[in-house]
Chain A
Amino acid sequence: MAKPDPSSVLYIADLFDLEGAVEVTESLTKKDYERVAGFVVKAYEEVDDVV
């Protein structure tokens, strides 16, 4: 397979605003985990046609 032209590559991280984002999670409690997962589930459920 031919190596892709760098100009044709779109890495997923480029979609996110990583200003102020940690590169590695330094600590995460179970409560933190639940908070993050809760945000994700809420985001899904706000979309009408989610199955």
Chain B
Amino acid sequence: MDFRHDAAEGEIGGSDGCINLNEPEHNGVEGCLKKFGILEVYDKVKAKVSLADFFVIAGEAASARAATHPKELAARFRDGFKYGRKTVKHCPWNWDRMPSPEHGCFGDDSKGIKGLKHIFNDNMFRGRVDGWALTAAISGAHTVGKASLENSGYEGHWSTAAEQGKFNNDYYKQIFMRGWVPELAMNGKK
């Protein structure tokens, strides 16, 4: 992701298909790409689609597949898709713009919202009046997937067993409607 901003033009970045997999918050991404054969899938379409566009389509395809009404969401994604993202192979300018222990996130999750503010409000959605709303929306992605000990040091799902793997609003329901407290020490993490 390119989170750079230009003083005159505002946001100049966007999805460019570039992340550093060796940053702690990206633990597990490489394994997932290989496990699901995504590298081979891109081989089939690379003459037509940029890697940057491919990542967006792949994300949309996975989200739609997990949705309550897959066909409807897939059609909405398809109809709203705009191609033209340029693949960026290397993005050294993005260092220090991702969540990190210094920013109170990923590696020191006990600090909670501080990391969300850094990555989303201060970078990705910088200058937008609806920054916090967008941050809340993107956090809903937790409704699918799970944390793994080997990647983050945490383990478990964010939604109920019955709703696990579904792309819906169960993550928010869990936060608001189910009693919970943060675990400050889990599986050896501080």
Contact = CB atoms under 8 A, between A and B. Distances in A.
Nearest to A34: B78
Interface residues of B, number: 61
A11 B18 contact: yes
Contact of A43 (B38, B102, B103): B38
A35 B50 CA distance: 14
Given A37-B78, A50-B36, A13 B95 contact: no
Contacts of A14: 89
Contacts of B57: 33, 36-37, 40
Given A23-B87, A46-B37, A36 B51 contact: no
Contacts, number: 149
A38 B94 CA distance: 31
Interface string B38-59: 1111111111111101100110
6 contacts: A1-B96, A11-B21, A16-B51, A25-B53, A37-B60, A47-B36
Interface of B: 17-23, 29-30, 33-51, 53-54, 57-58, 60-62, 64-66, 74, 77-79, 81, 83-92, 95-96, 100, 102-103, 144, 164-165
